[in-house]
Chains A and B, each alone.
Chain A
Amino acid sequence: DAGVIQSPRHEVTEMGQEVTLRCKPISGHDYLFWYRQTMMRGLELLIYFNNNVPIDDSGMPEDRFSAKMPNASFSTLKIQPSEPRDSAVYFCASNPTGLAGGPGTDTQYFGPGTRLTVL
């Protein structure tokens, strides 16, 4: 398996522009997570999906952020309009069985990330 695939790997945009990040999870994984990582705040969970349905979006910072998962093999994270404080590395991760529920729970597999710079 190719692992979790993210695109683009790098994105530089100007404030106010729309940004769309894309993710293809590992085939057969029912859970998909979007994270954001910065030096100041570390790794933050933004939203996660189970079987294409958003389960918890409480980590989404504000209405400018939205995420969709139209099918089991594709998800997008959109920022509109983008701001300089959105600059970060955005990771997508997938998991076959769910969250950290106990012994035997599989790990989360991370994609390579998208480094977003908003000027």
Chain B
Amino acid sequence: QKEVEQNSGPLSVPEGAIASLNCTYSDRVSQSFFWYRQYSGKSPELIMSIYSNGDKEDGRFTAQLNKASQYVSLLIRDSQPSDSATYLCAVGDSNYQLIWGAGTKLIIKP
């Protein structure tokens, strides 16, 4: 069964520090990877997508992909209290469907 695994947390990070969120996936042929942010009581919203090995940066966010290790991560630099949310990792499988992780709850402490 295709799986996407995340540590449920909560992950507590001081304001201004780097938050590191991790995700592993089981389907070796996956080609597309997404990080969604979900605030409590709200719907998921896309913050990063990555398709190739290496790093992809967008403002304070950096997605990292290592297909050999089946590992994708999200780094948030200069963490702000407004970054406190649940972060969902989603992986496009060989049938082009999104497989979702359970999410990591991130808490940024002022």
Contact = CB atoms under 8 A, between A and B. Distances in A.
Interface string A40-58: 0011110000000000100
Contacts of A102: 31-32, 51, 92
A108 B88 CA distance: 13
Contacts of B49: 107
Q: What is the interface residue range for chain B against chain A?
A: 20 to 34
A91 interface: yes
A44 B95 CA distance: 16
A42 B89 CA distance: 11
B68 to A, nearest CB: 19
A77 B91 CA distance: 25
A94 B95 CA distance: 18
Interface string B68-98: 0000000000000000000010111001111
A99 interface: yes
Interface residues of A, number: 19
A70 interface: no
A24 B88 CA distance: 24
A42 B102 contact: yes
Interface of B: 31-32, 34, 42-46, 49, 51-52, 88, 90-92, 95-98, 100-103
